[in-house]
Amino acid sequence: MMVFRRRCKKVQHGMHVREIAIFFLLIAIFVKIFRLVKCTVNLNEYVSICTGFKDVDIETRLRISSLDILPIDVTSEENLPNHGHFNIQRIIHQTWKNRTIPGSFQPWMRSFWKNHPDWEYRFWTDSASKNIIQETHSYLLPYFGNYSKPIFRADAIRYVLLYEFGGVYADIDMKSLRPLDSFIRKYSCFLGQEPHEHPMLDANFDGLACNAFMACKKGHPFMKQLIESLPSFYHFPNMLAATGPHFLTVNYRNYIAANPKLDSMSENGVYLTPPEYFFPTLDSFKFKLFHTVCKNLNSLSKLQQWACDSLNRRGYDRTPYAFSFTQHMYYHTYVKIDERRPVDILELIPAVILG
């Protein structure tokens, strides 16, 4: 009796081990097939995950990215010169309606001054902006004066400032993380780009240039094109299209299309920078929308599926990289402004040059 029972137990135990082994084997096969299908079906969008694309060196990846083939996640910095000539004037331009700066923006504005102690810091109020347009591009005044909201004027003036003086333009809700000197040694004109997920999930396209952060040498032909395009985009009621990021993106594409051989590093070139450099984090105002959109994955385009996958992989709440130059704090000044703890610009940045 005892012997039989023991043998029986042994057999049961053996079966158990075999079943577990088969179970794990099936899981392994299933995972393999799943990854194979996922990588084959969405090859274009999943190149970076499935083909080891991430291991390509940074210069190659940036070159591929600038060909508009697919969005990429930049994880290290390209080569930037430590010595030599500056292609862009070392001037920071910022604008606000008047000289009184609300509390929220003060540390971010000071961060630019702190990181660029030997640069000029120029500040432009609404009335100074109007004066400079009158002096330099008076044909714009009828449009400038007629824009329905101040944000249109705030958009338009930045192109004029970069064309007339050269330098770096930054919205006052941009935070400087480190000096820009190496960047303006390499490029003559460059544009910030919003995180890929923003335009993909908002409007199903990639490559949204953002005018919250741009830099160009004085008299650059791309800035000229932007200024001269303002009248023909004037009729758009939406600020994004009339003067803002969509206006900038459309003009960038037209400029590249008209000059297909232009190198982004040449003196008339324009470099659409990877989001990780100047816009490393996402706009938290959009989190709820993104979450809702990504729930119906099957109804989305491949580009949008890529964006949802990227949100899953990298998360919503991101921090800047060690190589990020700036961070956009997405304050949405046209929605609401906290006017508390105001300070005069002369007190905030004693070295300021008033426009």
Ligand X SMILES: *[C@@H]1O[C@H](CO)[C@@H](O)[C@H](O)[C@H]1NC(C)=O
- Residues that bind ligand X in the complex, under the rule CB under 6 A: 97-100, 142-143, 146, 339
Closer CB to ligand X, 99 or 130, in the complex = 99
Report, in Å, the least distance between residue 96 CB and ligand X.
Answer: 8
**Hey, how many other C-beta atoms are within 10 angstroms of the C-beta on 286?**
17
Report, in Å, the least distance between residue 118 CB and ligand X.
Answer: 29
Which residue spans within the chain are E strands per DSSP? 91-95, 100-101, 120-124, 167-170, 174-176, 189-193, 209-216, 271-272, 326-328, 343-344, 353-354
Closer CB to ligand X, 124 or 143, in the complex = 143
> What secondary structure letter does DSSP report for 209?
E
Report, in Å, the least distance between residue 99 CB and ligand X.
Answer: 5
**Distance between CA 252 and CA 208 in Å, rounded?**
10
Report, in Å, the least distance between residue 224 CB and ligand X.
Answer: 20
Name which of 182, 190, 168 is nearest 84 in CA terms: 182
Closer CB to ligand X, 85 or 235, in the complex = 235
Closer CB to ligand X, 131 or 146, in the complex = 146
- Tokens coding 171: 């919205």
Report, in Å, the least distance between residue 168 CB and ligand X.
Answer: 25
* Paired sense of beta strands 271-272 and 174-176, if any: unpaired
- Tokens coding 50: 């499935």
| Amino acid (1-letter code) at residue 330 | Y
- Tokens coding 20: 């577990």
Closer CB to ligand X, 99 or 286, in the complex = 99
> What secondary structure letter does DSSP report for 77?
P
Report, in Å, the least distance between residue 303 CB and ligand X.
Answer: 37
Spatial neighbors of 245 by CB under 8 A, at least 6 apart, are: 194, 208, 209, 210, 211
Closer CB to ligand X, 142 or 219, in the complex = 142
Closer CB to ligand X, 297 or 346, in the complex = 346
Report, in Å, the least distance between residue 333 CB and ligand X.
Answer: 12
